[in-house]
Amino acid sequence: MSGLGRFDQDHLYPFTAVVGHEEAKLALCLLAVEPRIGGVLLRGDKGAAKTTLARSLARLMGDAPFVDLPLGATEDSVVGTLDLRGALESGERRFKPGLLARAHGGVLYVDEVNLLADHLVDVLLDAAVSGVNVVEREGVTHRHPARFVLVGSMNPEEGDLRPQLLDRFGLSVEVRSSRDPAERAEALRRRLAFDEDPAGFVAAWEDEERRLAERLGTARPARLSDDLFLAAAALAVEAGAQGLRADLTMVRAAAALAGLEGREEARLDDLRRVAPLALAHRLRRDPFDDPAERAADLDEVVERFFDRGPTQNSGAMHNMGGGRGDDAAAAAMDGEQRTAEAGGRPGGPLGESPPNPTFTAAGSLLSTNSTGRPDGRRSPNDRGGRKVGERKPEGEPTSIATAATVREAILRRSTDPDAPLLEVSDLREAVTSGKGGNLLVFAVDTSGSMGAARRVEAVRSAVSGFLADAYVRRDRVAVVAFAGEAARVVLRPTSSVEVARARLSELPVGGTTPLGEGIRRAAALADKEQGSDRAILILVTDGRATWAKSGDPVDDALEAARAVRRAQIPSVVVDAEDPRSTTGLAADVAAEMGAMRLPLHGLDPEFLVAVSRRHRRTDTTRR
């Protein structure tokens, strides 16, 4: 558990004073010994000491730099760009270092890394492993060392990282607040003591901090045996890990652990201790599994593997058609070793490294959207697009590509030094490219009308399957339930499978049907979210409106449906009426809404994916 709140900037809360979180502390120390592990991802509760641990680790590394990367950072601010002041004053193209250069030799911390643009996460992970940042911008090519310890943190309830990015973090740790009252009380006592007298508290932990700092400063990764290579490969296969990153991370972490404990060669017990940290985030899983159950299952696999002994595991590896697990892992290490040798391993306080079938109806879903664009593309409010170039604006520029604008001014003035410093013709705007996401807003009739349980179960099943890989598409879902005399948001926009699982586990059923209220509440949510995601409204109902604040409930529902059409919100009506006794009410709502109509049995994950894909393409937009 953490020390509740931010630190005194002159007196950082000591790393060794943090109560609990032993796995997180171990992972961070291993990364300090061997940064080529590729970063540590701390996943868990807010206020659970993630930032405290990352910041205090830099102090243990000899007061190394600590760089906190903000969520609003641009690619230029991270990797570096043209020095605009120098360009304007002297006309010279010089490189202006970014955050990667500032983090050299220290800790680069990214809070809420799951909300950072994917291409920036890629840049950080590449530099963390290679130790080098190469920039080619605005006619400037620059290469500089970028050897740092990368620490990312996130709250899974706010959405997950894509699997491709998650896999590239070397180690991952679940950081949860302690459920032990005694441990929580001790954390409170320490925090209050620190707040009362920061200098005195830090002094009381000085010896502990110094001893750990000395260990980190002198530790070097230990030697690795062929047996350990084979064991790591066999364990990765048995656990179901894909690719060789899990194997590679395990042996590097085992070598770092042995070195941290002062041993010259890593042992199988080292591998046993680090395996859960390297494997937990790399295994295939049902996204709606309980995280605690997944962790228990992995622990069982690891314990069973080591309890069998290396002889049986080696035989099992050969029986799987392998027998070359040690060669494969060693080859992977050799390949990454060459990359690391080109850029080196973090020096300074870190030391040097030793050599070692879609639903076809979806195609007809509306040809316009809330922005009025007939091609179904998202608006320029693309989240996290990569800069792919600049261009001369057509009409009024949406934003200024500063470096490109300065470059044009320099080129123009190179032939006429007395010309104005800047002219309108010099203006350039950035061109970015990125995949947009969609928000599917479900409005679900949970009233007591016949078939309510069937409607709720259909939505639960479809949403669960849709979110199973929504992180790939950058899609989110939201659910509005309406019954009685009100409509309420039961699931706010999210791509988190954990949040969806919790919110949709129990939806109460019963009461009258305020259909108009349900449509209006869902439309308002969809309209609110249009700036960041393209929203699509999916109404699940039998059309039998039985309550309204005033007037006839059916008329109220039809008017709400017409408002959706006027707002140009793409929509689908899932007709839950019993076909044996249909009244056509759902069809009337769909007609007034301008929506595609779908039978309840057609609502499944494949249909939702088809709807999402129908309205997605890679945008090249002006920023």
The token pair at 572 is 């689908």
Assess contact for 537 and 526: CB atoms under 8 A. yes
The whole-angstrom separation of Cα 272 and Cα 264 is 17
Assess contact for 249 and 170: CB atoms under 8 A. yes
Q: Specify whether 386 is catalytic.
A: no
3-state secondary structure of 402: helix
The whole-angstrom separation of Cα 86 and Cα 75 is 20
The whole-angstrom separation of Cα 104 and Cα 348 is 9
Tokens 């109460």 correspond to 508
The whole-angstrom separation of Cα 55 and Cα 68 is 9
The whole-angstrom separation of Cα 457 and Cα 522 is 19
The whole-angstrom separation of Cα 263 and Cα 266 is 7
Which of 245, 282, 474, 503 is labelled catalytic?
Answer: 245
Assess contact for 483 and 444: CB atoms under 8 A. no
Cα four-point dihedral sign 250, 256, 259, 265: positive
The type of residue at 343 is G
3-state secondary structure of 615: coil
Which candidate, 146, 199, 179, places its Cα nearest to that of 8?
199
Catalytic residues: 245
